[in-house]
């Protein structure tokens, strides 16, 4: 056992702290970003470890990034000449807080296994949450005696773990999960999470002001709590709607939807039906349909997410309806095709279940002011629309080609360019006897101007000439 007197300040006046603390801040940030700064950071921490004021500030900074101790631990072992416990402190007075804590933490990282074993047995290792990161590292130590003593200390430290202890321990436990000797420590952290009351868990996973900001750590917590059934309906609903980690959000939505079906409680699924997660909306809508509530299908037919639209179409069919007919009705009664009220999901939905006969209905939306709406005509629908218009009359063919010049599909753009070239060189003569209606001429002139370099100078000249001759 190490006597507390091994970690005491010498009482000398501290040097100006701004330069060294600025360096520590910078080196922590660099190390967190993957830059090779851990060696410099470790040297700076050793430099302030026996100064009470500076050590306290350093520990406050380190506490915000507990996983940084993985880099410090590795850098301390690689340092030459090797560091020992006596390099850190030979003092007579123990400052009340941070001086001994930083020294203890660094001493737990030295190369000598006997000294690491002594350090993890210090009483402060069981009582100070800021020491949990190095204590967790030592539970996966390559020396068996160190591991056993560290695990005993960790069990005591987590016996009544509060929010601060969990915030410190969970991110480190997640990082250690890949190590072969980490299983016992992970079991202790899992047990600590399951012992926590609902208030602590809610505070740990709150989303209005994210407390546990590490995505991997949040996912770990949800994995533990979901497997144990520790999340009530309110917590599941909140997570399914607001959890920042997408995987955890989806898992909570799936669990809530399953409970809705199992206990015949459609209100549980309905609560997350309009959430931001597409996966969550699918889970909720599927549960409602299985419970016989197909009435929610029609209002999700125009969802921007394809998986939600397909689920909504399934719901309409289960109710005996035809989703394609609903899409056609909405587009037909939607008013001006250039209206911003038309969603791209409505057009994409018709592409999901419509036929080639719907091409004429979809084509007017090529002029929609929103690019995302224009881009939602499925390729086969765009191709069919072009073919239908090209067969109608000469000027409709030119209009279809000009519209297709800006299509996102390169093959369709090439097809339009080729057809325009043929029309200008050979087929335009058949258009001269047929007058072009004034409103069509105005639209074609605008399309020719908008096509610009996509059309080419010669083709543009010939098209304008054809329009003049068709008056």
Q: What is the pLDDT of residues 9-60, one digit of tens each?
A: 333 334 445 688 999 999 999 998 989 899 999 989 988 887 888 888 999 9
Q: How far is CA 151 from CA 103, 118, 144, 343, 432, in A?
A: 20, 13, 11, 58, 92
What is the structure's pLDDT at 167? 93
> Residue 3 region, left (φ>0) first, then alpha (ψ -120 to 50), else beta?
beta
Q: Two tokens at 108?
A: 């737990």
Tens of pLDDT, residue by residue over 258-289, are 999 999 999 999 999 998 889 999 999 999 99
Identify the residue with better confidence: 206 or 132.
Answer: 132
pLDDT band at 252 (very low <50, low <70, confident <90, very high): very high
Q: What mean pLDDT is predicted for residues 116-138?
A: 93
Q: Are the beta carbons of 435 and 471 closer than 8 angstroms?
A: yes
Mean pLDDT on 209-238: 91
Rg (CA), the chain: 34
Pinpoint the alpha helices (H) of 91-162.
98-107, 113-120, 124-127, 132-138, 144-157
Q: What average pLDDT does range 94-115 have in this prediction?
A: 74
Q: How far apart are CA 93 and CA 409, in angstroms?
A: 76
Are 284 and 273 in contact, with CB atoms under 8 Å apart? yes
The predicted pLDDT at position 93 comes to 37
Q: Phi/psi zone of residue 229: left (φ > 0), alpha (ψ -120 to 50 degrees), beta?
A: left
Task: Tell me the sheet residues that pair with 93.
Answer: 9
First-to-last C-alpha distance (Å) of the chain: 104
Residue 415, phi then psi, degrees to nearest 5? -65, -40
Determine the pLDDT at residue 388.
62
Residues 388, 359: contact at Cβ < 8 Å?
yes
- Locate the domains of the chain by residue range: 231-321, 322-392, 393-471
Query: Rounded to an integer, what is the distance from CA 121 to the centroid of its chain?
Result: 40
Query: What's the topology of domain 231-321?
Result: 1.25.10
437 pLDDT band (50/70/90 cuts)? confident
Element (H, E) at 429: none
Q: Can you tell me the mean pLDDT for 234-257?
A: 93
State pTM to two decimals: 0.71
| Helix, strand, coil percentages in the chain from 3-state DSSP, rounded to 5 | 70, 0, 30
CA distance 313 to 301: 6
Span 301-320, average pLDDT? 92
Residues 6+ apart with CB under 8 A from 31: 37, 38, 41, 68, 71
The mean per-residue pLDDT over the stretch 205-221 comes to 84
- Looking at per-residue pLDDT, the higher value among 105 and 410 belongs to 105
- Which of these ranges, 43-57, 313-327, 382-396, has the smallest mean pLDDT? 382-396
pLDDT per residue as tens digits for the range 141-180: 999 999 999 999 999 999 999 999 999 999 999 999 988 8
**pLDDT one-digit tens code per residue, 413-435:** 888 888 888 877 777 666 555 67
Separation CA 123–CA 1 (nearest Å):
9
Q: Which of 225, 211, 111, 110 is nearest to 168 (CA)?
A: 211
| 98 pLDDT more than 50 | no
């Amino acid at each position: 056992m190490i006597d507390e007197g091994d970690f005491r300040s010498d009482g000398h006046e501290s040097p100006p702290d701004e330069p060294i603390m600025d360096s520590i801040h910078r080196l922590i940030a660099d190390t967190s970003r993957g830059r090779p700064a851990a060696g410099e950071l470790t040297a700076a921490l050793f430099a302030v470890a026996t100064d009470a004021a500076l050590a306290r500030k350093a520990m406050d900074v380190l506490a915000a990034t507990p996983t940084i101790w993985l880099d410090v631990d590795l850098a301390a072992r690689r340092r030459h000449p090797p560091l020992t416990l006596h390099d850190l402190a030979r003092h007579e007075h123990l400052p009340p807080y941070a001086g001994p804590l930083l020294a203890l933490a660094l001493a737990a990282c030295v190369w000598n296994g006997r000294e690491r074993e002594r350090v993890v047995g210090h009483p402060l290792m069981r009582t100070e949450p800021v020491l949990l990161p190095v204590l967790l590292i030592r539970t996966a130590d390559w020396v068996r005696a160190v591991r056993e003593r560290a695990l005993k200390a960790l069990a005591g430290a987590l016996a009544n773990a509060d929010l601060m202890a969990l915030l410190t321990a969970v991110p480190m436990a997640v990082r250690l999960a890949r190590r072969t000797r980490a299983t016992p420590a992970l079991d202790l952290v899992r047990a600590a999470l399951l012992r926590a009351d609902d208030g602590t868990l809610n505070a740990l996973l709150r989303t209005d002001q994210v407390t546990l900001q590490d995505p991997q750590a949040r996912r770990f917590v949800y994995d533990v709590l979901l497997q144990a059934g520790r999340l009530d309906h309110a917590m599941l609903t909140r997570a399914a709607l607001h959890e920042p980690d997408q995987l955890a959000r989806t898992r909570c939505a799936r669990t809530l939807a399953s409970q809705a079906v199992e206990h015949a409680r459609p209100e549980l699924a309905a609560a997350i039906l309009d959430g931001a997660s597409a996966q969550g909306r699918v889970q909720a809508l599927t549960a409602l349909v299985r419970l016989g509530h197909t009435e929610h299908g029609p209002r999700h037919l125009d969802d921007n997410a394809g998986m939600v639209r397909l689920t909504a179409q399934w719901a309409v069919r289960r109710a005996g309806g035809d989703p394609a007919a609903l899409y056609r009705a909405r587009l037909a009664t939607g008013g001006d095709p250039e209206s911003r009220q038309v969603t791209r999901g409505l057009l994409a939905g018709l592409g999901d279940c419509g036929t080639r006969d719907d091409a004429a209905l979809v084509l007017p939306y090529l002029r929609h002011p929103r690019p995302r709406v224009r881009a939602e005509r499925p390729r086969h629908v765009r191709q069919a629309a072009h073919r239908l218009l090209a067969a109608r009359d000469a000027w409709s063919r030119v209009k279809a080609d000009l519209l297709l010049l800006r299509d996102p599909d390169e093959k369709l753009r090439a097809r339009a360019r080729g057809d325009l070239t043929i029309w200008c060189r050979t087929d335009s003569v058949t258009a001269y006897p047929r007058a072009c209606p004034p409103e069509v001429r105005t639209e074609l002139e605008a399309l020719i101007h908008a096509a610009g370099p996509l059309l080419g100078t010669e083709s543009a000249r010939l098209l304008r000439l054809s329009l003049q001759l068709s008056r």
